[in-house]
Structure 1
Amino acid sequence: MPISEIILLIIFGIVSFIGILGSGFILVVNGHKCFQSRKMTTYDFLLTSLSTSRFIMQLGLLIYYILYFTLKINSRLFLDYLIFFSWMFFDMISHWCATWLNVFYCVKVANVANPIFLWLKARINVLVPRLLGLSIAIFMVTCLPSLVDYFGHTKWCNLTETLLENASQGGVCSTPDSFFIPIQLSFYVINSCLSTISIILLLISLWRHTRNLKKSGVGVKDLNTQVHIKVMAFLLFWFLFNFVDFVALLVYSGLAIWTDDGTVHDLHIGIWLSVFPSAHSIILILNNPKMKEMYICIIKKMYAHIISIGHSTS
């Protein structure tokens, strides 16, 4: 392997490992909390679904990249397509979970004097799990025609390696990217629109709340304002990293549609596609006081353990 490829693989491994640890930490802590209380709130359900989907997605992608660049797996093998479909499915689930989590935050925190919004506020705990399930079901149903079209189009493809190499590269075989990424991009746009609306509503709510406090002569550093600002910071960070993820997917889509060189293996794209879920997992931990306290405690214990090992060896 070239040295540049090794460096990129190491960077990808570090970014993915951070995301896997973050999602795994959220999953374990949240699961332990639900097991002790014997109940699962809507927030816990969204957080558990999000961390589970991201854990599976990033772990599978990391294993695949390691196998591909160390064992040089043939990009036309069944494993290649299995990894792609698994990544697309769990990536889309994680985006829907994150989107409905943003909507849940917005409805719970924002104060908007609108009958529809007030109706949502009273029923959001029941509606969000159903909307998440409906979103995933719609995504799966939407993918079915493309799935049938893809396998119908590639039934004479070189899956058994019986065709010449230049035949498979000349358009006889088609990668799954060109069939499914347009659908994925469409759902990305829907997710981004819903999250943008949530951010705008929270901004309006925070601005009105701060204006009312100033009129009444009360300081703006009250608890409600702090909650607004905290949730706003969380959503803005999500929006920033989601934008990076969306741009990376656009670049990947362009490469996949206009070329046929197995761009799923491009480590540059893999790194950018892993930045968003990894960063968002860390933001979720830091945004939750109990998880943040436990996370810092674990880091301190690990640091103390490493120091003690260093002293004992010296």
Structure 2
Amino acid sequence: MDHNMSTPLGIILLIIFGIVSIAALLANGFIIVVNSHSWLKSRKFVPCDLLLTSLGIFRFLMQCFVLSGQFIYVSSPMDYMCSYAWKIDALAWMYFNMANGLGTTCLTVFYCMKVTTFSHPLFFWLKSRIDRLVPHMLVMSILAFVLFSISPVVGFWRVESSCSLARNLTANTSHSEALEGSLYGILNPLQFSFSAISFSISLTASIFLIVSLWRHTRNLKNSGIHTKDFSTQAHIEVIKQLMFFLFFYILYFVTMIIAMTNILIYGKVERLVSDIVFSLYPSAHSIILIRTNPKLKGVCTRILSSRERSS
């Protein structure tokens, strides 16, 4: 184990990282299983379920690579950083991280189109066709980032030359530092571009959605409907969940930008903190999606109720 990870703080952070990772796997696994079961029964994926299932798959696989990479590194840091396992793990995380961003963007745009109302003709045209556009929007987004990432991925496999370089470095420079400098110099521009675009669109759609829900809630109150009315309370609850989503998403994006500067070296405690934040976002947002989706919430409630009765 790396010296930084063997300290009390490092061990505590590893435990927190493991708990958050398991929560992310369980939450996204639950979304995948419930929606896949519904599809097997009806043989039909509604657009919302398609987006939720795709996003759940992206996040589940992304978290698997984050979890495996961290613990393999902890058990054998020097061997891992110069192995093909490290390159495959880092490349897979990059792909699923960008896919996660694209899936989040598609989902927030879908919700925005379904809930908000604007008088612009283009908006009405999109709103009436959003159900049919969802599969095409998701597939085209994924194909776009795969197409633009072909060239950087080819260069990625040249990183093994840094292993021989790292062995000749002074004692002040680790394998991790040398390899990360080469790796992220290749992948950072691509990842930053797609992440920034996805983040901007998701943030804009979420803000529109919050504003629309808030105006609708205010209109309900002004029309004489009591504040404890079910519809009003439901809108307020959704606004709260959206605010939580934005908090975790902004925290995740800022941490990713910091990690791209190569300040956080793999194997250091600071990098482990960033990995916890990377795992916290897909975990927290997936739980929020379960809480706000009637079908997922209903299944989750039934499972918890049956466990309480059996105990």
TM class, shorter-length = 0.7 to 0.9
Alpha-carbon distance in 1 for matches of 2:169, 2:132: 55
- Partner residue of 2:42? 37
C-alpha contact (below 8 Å) 1:202/1:228 kept by paired residues:
no
With over 3 angstroms needed to count, the CA separation of the structure-2 counterparts of 1:30 and 1:237, relative to structure 1, is: same
- Partner residue of 1:6? 11
C-alpha contact (below 8 Å) 1:109/1:228 kept by paired residues:
no
- Partner residue of 1:50? 55
- Partner residue of 1:126? 132
- Alpha-carbon shift at residue 173 of structure 1 (Å): 8.7
- Partner residue of 1:299? 304
- Alpha-carbon shift at residue 54 of structure 1 (Å): 0.7
Alpha-carbon distance in 2 for matches of 1:162, 1:200: 48
1:199 equivalenced with 2:183 (yes/no): no
Among 282, 289, 293, the residue aligned to 2:287: 282
With over 3 angstroms needed to count, the CA separation of the structure-2 counterparts of 1:21 and 1:235, relative to structure 1, is: same
- Partner residue of 2:275? 270
C-alpha contact (below 8 Å) 1:175/1:260 kept by paired residues:
no
Aligned length: 300
Among 78, 92, 112, the residue aligned to 2:118: 112
Measured on the aligned residues, the alpha-carbon RMSD in Å equals: 3.0
Give 1:95's aligned amino acid: G
Give 1:69's aligned amino acid: V
TM-score, reference length from structure 2: 0.84
Alpha-carbon distance in 1 for matches of 2:181, 2:149: 17
Among 6, 16, 25, the residue aligned to 2:21: 16
Alpha-carbon distance in 2 for matches of 1:293, 1:210: 24
Among 128, 151, 156, the residue aligned to 1:145: 151
Counterpart mapping for 1:127-276 below 5 A:
127-151=133-157, 154=159, 157-159=161-163, 161=164, 164-166=167-169, 174-206=181-213, 208-210=215-217, 213=220, 217-219=223-225, 228-254=235-261, 256=262, 266-276=271-281
Alpha-carbon distance in 2 for matches of 1:219, 1:272: 41
TM-score, reference length from structure 1: 0.83
What runs of 5+ residues in structure 2 fail to find an aligned partner? 1-5
Among 70, 74, 85, the residue aligned to 2:75: 70
Alpha-carbon deviations, 1:44-63, whole Å to 9, x = none? Answer: 11011001111111122212
Alpha-carbon distance in 1 for matches of 2:166, 2:36: 50
C-alpha contact (below 8 Å) 1:57/1:90 kept by paired residues:
yes
- Partner residue of 1:83? 89
Alpha-carbon distance in 2 for matches of 1:283, 1:13: 20
Alpha-carbon distance in 2 for matches of 1:27, 1:231: 22
Alpha-carbon distance in 2 for matches of 1:141, 1:263: 34
Alpha-carbon distance in 2 for matches of 1:177, 1:5: 24
Alpha-carbon deviations, 1:17-37, whole Å to 9, x = none? Answer: 000000001111111111111
Alpha-carbon deviations, 1:41-99, whole Å to 9, x = none? Answer: 11111011001111111122212212221233431211111101100111111111111
- Alpha-carbon shift at residue 191 of structure 1 (Å): 1.5
With over 3 angstroms needed to count, the CA separation of the structure-2 counterparts of 1:228 and 1:127, relative to structure 1, is: farther
What runs of 5+ residues in structure 1 fail to find an aligned partner? 309-314
- Alpha-carbon shift at residue 287 of structure 1 (Å): 0.9
Q: Identify which of structures 1 and 2 has the higher relative contact order when contacts are C-alpha pairs closer than 8 Å and 6+ apart.
A: 2
Percent of pairs with identical residues: 37
- Partner residue of 1:312? none
